[in-house]
Amino acid sequence: MTRCPEKGFSLIEVVVVIALMAIIAAFAAPNFMNMMVQRRLNGAARQIMSELMNARMQAVSQQNAFKISFPSNHEYTILDDDDNDGVADTGEAIQTKDIQSDYYDVTLSSTASVIFFGRGTANGATTTVSNSAGSKNVNVEITGYVKITN
Whether 5 is covered by a domain: the verdict is no
Which residues span the domain enclosing 73?
11-149
Whether 84 is covered by a domain: the verdict is yes
Report pLDDT digits (tens) over 88-122.
788 888 999 999 999 999 999 999 999 999 999 99
Tell me the C-alpha distance between 35 and 55, whole Å.
Answer: 30
Q: What is the pLDDT of residue 25?
A: 83
Whether 6 is covered by a domain: the verdict is no
Whether 117 is covered by a domain: the verdict is yes
Whether 66 is covered by a domain: the verdict is yes
The predicted model gives 119-137 an average pLDDT of 94
* Pairwise pLDDT comparison (113 vs 6), residue with the higher score: 113
Q: What's the number of domains the chain is made of?
A: 1
Q: What is the CATH number of the domain that holds 32?
A: 3.55.40.10
Q: Is the pLDDT of residue 26 over 90?
A: no
- C-alpha distances (whole Å) from 21 to each of 30, 34, 51, 94, 141 are 15, 20, 43, 52, 50
